[in-house]
Amino acid sequence: MQSILTHQKKILIAPLDWGLGHATRCIPLISSFLNAGHIVHVAANQSIRTLLQTEFPELIFHDLPGYNIRYSAQKWMLPFTILKQVPQIVQAIRNEQSWLNLFLQRNAYDLIVSDNRYGFYHHSVKSVIITHQLQILVPQSILLQKILNVFNHRLLNHFKECWVADYETDSMSGKLSAKSIHIPIKYLGNLSRFKGLPEQTKKYDIIVILSGPEPQRTLLEEEILKQVKALPYKTIVVRGKPSEDNKIRSYSPTINIINHLQANELEMMIQSSEIIICRSGYSTMMDLIKLNRHALFIPTPGQTEQEYLAEYFSHKKWGMYSPQETLHLENLIQAFQTYPFEKYPNWNLYQYETLLEELG
């Protein structure tokens, strides 16, 4: 790949810690910057640092506190649980703004890249924000949706540019990425950490990929293990816990469990599994598109973005989905095996490399 920037640049990247997807979709960008000879530093909390260090052990990391968002155990409680944490989120945005102001008094950078951290920008350094959610959806309340989007757009407009992890046409995220802000927008396309390996010789019937904030991550893990244990399928469960050891353990005669896999290992594991079960997180969906694979999606209860994406992919016949509350894996797996999935559009999966060449 040719040089992305005219001269060597020093770049600071800060992914949000709301799940692991914000960090994983930064992986192809970090790789592109490093391949072009640029210097990359990462500002993140421990969970994000642990994940990215396995992929880039040579990087310099700076400790930046996360938002530490938690979900509720009941779907109906999630809006209230998030609402209760709004002061904490607002304070986290202020804190990261103060952190960056002090940090830049001692350190110089040519480019700041924030993945959905709204306070991570500076007036004296070109600051861009990565997102795919230009529109926040609140199906239960149009008024609340309008209020949240005014707030969202005001925060996005603090940056010099917005890099959207999607395509301007044939969108991967549907109406989530519709234009709505005043600053320049660049559509980066698919930001998958995977290389696009072909399918491998089958090792597992099912791979379960868990992710997202607690306690919903654990609740889904427990429910899936209970149901799969009664089924005759060889299964691997990837727990999505990069801070813990990564040894494969036997849970039952047909089920293995591992806490975390590096990107190349996870890609190989997916491509050697027949059926994929996962959350409908956007980064996970981009990974599946890169691999040309379909999945059974189980959106996090009450998380409207994941619920919308699961329905959107189902409508396009790019996947199947089930609410967590009515999950019945035996029936779903049987239906999945004969489901008439549609092909993905012919997207340029490396569009971000071309657009990054425009940076100067």
The enclosing H or E element of 185 equals strand 185-187
341 in a structural domain:
no
Alpha carbons within 13 angstroms on the beta-carbon side of residue 273 total 28
Amino acid at 317: K
Looking at the fold, whether 178 and 299 belong to one and the same domain comes out as: no
17 and 100 part of one domain = yes
Output the pLDDT for position 1. Answer: 41
Residues 78 and 117 in one domain: yes
β-bridge pairing 249-252 and 255-258: antiparallel
Backbone angles phi, psi at 276, to 5 degrees: -110, 130
pLDDT digits (tens, 9 = 90+) for 30-50: 999 998 889 999 999 998 999
Q: Domain with 294 in it: what CATH number?
A: 3.40.50.2000
Please check whether residues 213 and 109 belong to one and the same domain.
no
Res 89: pLDDT:
82
Prediction pTM value: 0.89
* pLDDT at 78 (0 to 100): 61
Q: Is residue 227 domain-shared with residue 285, that is, in the same domain? A: yes
- Residue 258 in 3-state DSSP? strand
Instruction: Give Cβ neighbours of residue 107 (< 8 Å, ≥ 6 apart).
Output: 12
Q: What is the mean pLDDT of each run of 10 residues along the chain (360 residues)?
A: 62 90 93 91 93 93 83 61 72 93 96 96 96 80 78 91 93 88 91 92 96 89 96 96 81 95 94 97 96 97 91 97 96 97 96 75
State the residue for tokens 């350190």: 107
Number of domains in the chain: 2
pLDDT score for 139: 67
Reply yes or no: is the peptide bond before residue 15 cis, omega within 30 of 0.
no
Domain annotation covers residue 269: yes
Same domain, 254 and 320: yes
Q: What is the pLDDT of residue 137?
A: 77
Give the per-residue pLDDT at 3: 42
In a domain, 131, yes or no: yes
How far is Cα of residue 309 from the mean position of the Cα atoms in its chain?
Answer: 13
Which pLDDT score, from 0 to 100, does residue 213 have?
81
For residues 147 and 40, state if they share a domain. Answer: yes
Contact call for residues 3 and 38 (beta carbons, < 8 A): no
Please report whether residue 237 resides in a domain.
yes
Residue 46 near residue 53, CB atoms below 8 Å? no
Question: Which domain range does residue 126 map to?
Answer: 10-193+349-356
- Shared domain for 116 and 255, answered yes or no, is no
Has residue 343 been placed in a domain? no
Residue 160 falls inside a structural domain: yes
Tokens of 211: 């992710």
CB 71 within 8 A of CB 281: no
Instruction: Report yes or no on 103 lying in a domain.
Output: yes
In a domain, 149, yes or no: yes
Domain match, 46 and 187 both: yes
Note the pLDDT of residue 133.
85
Residue 182 shares a structural domain with residue 216? no
Both 213 and 187 in one domain: the answer is no
Q: What is the pLDDT of residue 24?
A: 93
165 and 270 in a single domain? The answer is no
